[in-house]
Amino acid sequence: MNIVVCVKRVPDTETKIKIGGDGKAIDPAGVEFVINPFDEYAIEEAIQIKEKSGEGEINILSLGSIDAQVIMRKAYAMGAEKGVHLNDDSANPDNLAVAKSLAAQLKEMSFDMVLFGKQAVDDDSASVAVQVAQLLNIPIVTRVIKMDIADGKATAERESDAGKEILEVTLPAAFAAEKGLNEPRYPKLMDIMKAKKKPLEQKEAQMDAPKMEIVEMKYPPERPPGKIVGEGVEAVPELVNLLKNEAKMI
Amino acid sequence: MANNVLIYAEQMGGKFRPTAFEAICQGKKMAQELGGKVIAVAIGSGIENPEALGQYGADKVIVVSNEKLKDFTVDAYGKAFADVAGKNDPAVVLMAATYQGKDLGGYVSAALDAPIAADCTEWLAQGGKIQVKRPTYAGKAYATIAFTGETAVISIRPKVFASDEPDASKSAEVENQDVALSDDDFRSIVKEILAKAGGKIDVSEGDIIVAGGRGMKGPENFKILEEMAELLGAAVGASRTAVDEGWREHADQVGQTGKVVSPKLYIACGISGAIQHLAGMRTSKCIVAINKDPDAAIFNIADYGIVGDLFQVVPAMTEELKKVMGS
Ligand SMILES: Cc1cc2nc3c(=O)[nH]c(=O)nc-3n(C[C@H](O)[C@H](O)[C@H](O)COP(=O)(O)OP(=O)(O)OC[C@H]3O[C@@H](n4cnc5c(N)ncnc54)[C@H](O)[C@@H]3O)c2cc1C
Ligand SMILES: Nc1ncnc2c1ncn2[C@@H]1O[C@H](COP(=O)(O)O)[C@@H](O)[C@H]1O
């Protein structure tokens, strides 16, 4: 079972975001960058599948600046063997250009499965995995919370607006991991040391020109200042009154 | 030049979802700016009353109906949708950023070679084109996006845009279209659909959400939120902590690693207001916070707050609501 996991370097979710001087992107100074949290579930799942089947290899694929290699090494420390870094400094905002570049690289690799995170917590788009699958013409299940592999097929459980769904796909296939799929492991010190020696291939990313542009980035719209209605149960009648007569919510 | 707006009219079990109407209402306004037509596309099997889409503003409704399309799968619905889109010269391909819409958006973006902006919360017309605004970095920054090229795929956050009342005097031309689907388009097979237990409202559907966090202290205590929710016809949501503790299901989780919701009213009980939680609910119209800590961050974005013990305040509020709503 050969698995490729696509991982993205993103700001840690705890980080305070500062918008840069051009007003079109964040200022990376002082920001801590991590593996996209959803991609960690994908890496963990790949490792577990490999451990179960006892064969195959796990490849990491990441597109981004040279710093992407730092998070690739973290994925190595978790248990991946090798990987490809598609070098790109352009911070291309167009997901489709990223997906095309990833898909072109994937076509040169041999895999039974490609794993993604549900969404990257910087652009919060949840598009790239589906785009790549479409470009590769393979099936995809997104927001996977459980999966089983047997006889060249995968059974995957996902959450939907109606409840849950169980889908079956034939491999090769793509999957996008949702929280709940597993508990990502913490690498041991020894594994972190070993990760430094694992092979990492660097290539220049082939990128289409973006078909979209960020013309402005702003802080979220301020919510009008709220009011503390009061303390404890005494404040309840007034709160309900405000909800009914001021906010007209009930 | 392309100027039509093509809309995915999402249905489940043959019935259109409210998000379909939200998308059509915005699509109609976009089409007015672009000088084009509104084409709604309904895909499925046994779709009820497609004419109704005209009452929300569709000029034309294209129905792709096929036994095999009973359940949503991204390959088959994507193929059908992209096929129709390819023939209708859209400037904008629009859908709601629901579970179906998010999958479909990525598919159709790749199939049409068009860029996508997902989960948008605002749009504007600029120089004869549509621009969008969307939250990024878990809502810590909002990006305004302009598109180059003929077609843009846009998904809008459910419940952010209100839909207009249907106009019963309007109707749309309904056209049935066959799309050739091969076995290759049914590579994902839906084996089972497990409906939510006891007909509970999903947080993504609730106009009102009553949510609980670590302050609830245990699974049994969610009963007091369920009582209030039942009275209000609300869904019950949860913080990640409440989910990680095993008190609630992940499907109920609101936030960055849960669902992004935008209800009319969000009542947060025993939730501190961590940035990752706010990412999932900050676009709610009205936010109420009940928390015993006056410095809890949730009060910074709440419209109304009560500082107090939720175990006293929540039941008292349910009683008061009963009085007020009965009258
Ligand atoms: C990558 C990442 C993703 C995340 N995604 C999410 C997400 O999707 N959703 C999410 O919610 N969190 C998410 N988190 C976690 C988030 O950072 C917080 O840890 C979490 O939201 C805290 O949950 P809480 O408010 O229930 O608990 P706490 O922060 O512990 O707050 C409990 C609150 O209850 C109050 N309280 C206690 N007892 C009472 C009482 N009797 N009456 C009234 N008030 C009381 C306390 O004053 C306190 O404010 C994520 C974190 C990371 C790192
Ligand atoms: N630059 C990238 N390099 C590698 N994988 C990526 C990249 N961007 C997105 N992905 C993958 O696609 C998923 C969804 O990203 P997005 O569509 O941007 O929300 C991520 O969780 C990653 O698995």
The CA-atom distances, in angstroms, between B56 and each of A10, A79, A89 are: 40, 53, 45
Residue B15: count of CB within 10 angstroms of its CB: 12
B5-185: CATH architecture: 3-Layer(aba) Sandwich (3.40)
Nearest CA in chain B to A170: B187
Q: Is residue A82 part of a domain?
A: yes
Q: Which residue has the tokens 């948008």?
A: B120
Rounded distance between C-alpha atoms, residue B187 and residue B242, angstroms: 36
| A99 to B110: CB separation less than 8 angstroms, yes or no | yes
- Dump pLDDT digits (tens) for A38-75: 999 999 999 999 999 999 999 999 999 999 999 999 99
In the three-class reduction of DSSP (H, G, I as helix; E, B as strand; rest coil), residue A238 is classed as helix
Same domain? For A250 and A186 the reply is no
A229 and A180 in one domain? no
CB A126 less than 6 A from any atom of ligand 2: yes
Q: Count how many domains chain A has.
A: 2
Distance B205 CA to ligand 1 centre (A): 22
| Three-state secondary-structure class, residue B213 | coil
Q: What are B148-175's pLDDT values in tens digits?
A: 989 999 999 999 998 999 999 998 999 9
**A238 and A199 assigned to the same domain:** no
pTM: 0.95
Q: Given this model, what pLDDT does residue B171 score? A: 87
Fold of the CATH domain B208-325 = Rossmann fold (3.40.50)
Positions in chain A whose pLDDT score sits under 70: none
Sign of the dihedral through C-alpha B101, B102, B107, B112? positive
The bound ligand whose nearest atom lies closest to the alpha carbon of B217 is 1
Fold: same for B5-185 and B208-325 = yes
Closest CA to B20 of B52, B60, B45, B66: B52
Q: How far apart are CA B62 and CA B92, in angstroms?
A: 16
User: Is A183 in the same domain as A125?
Assistant: yes
Window B:211-270, CB contacts with A under 8 Å: 232, 250-251, 253, 256-258, 264-265
Determine contact: A171 vs chain B, CB below 8 A: no
**Chain B: residue whose CA lies nearest to A100:** B110
pLDDT classification of B327: cutoffs 50, 70, 90: low
Q: How far apart are CA B98 and CA B312, in angstroms?
A: 36
pLDDT tens-place string over residues B236-287? 999 999 999 999 999 999 999 999 999 999 999 999 999 999 999 999 999 9
- Looking at residue B244, its amino acid is D
DSSP, res A36: -
Residues A151, A177: one domain?
A: yes
CA-angle at B299, arms to B297 and B305, nearest 5°: 150
> Collapsing DSSP states into helix, strand and coil, what is residue B49?
coil
Distance between start and end Cα atoms, chain B: 57
Q: Edge-to-edge strand order for the sheet containing B286-291?
A: A227-231, B304-307, B286-291, B265-269, B208-212, B235-238
Containing structural domain, residue A74: 2-204
Domain ranges of chain B: 5-185, 208-325
Instruction: Decide: A9 and A70 in contact? Cβ < 8 Å.
Output: yes
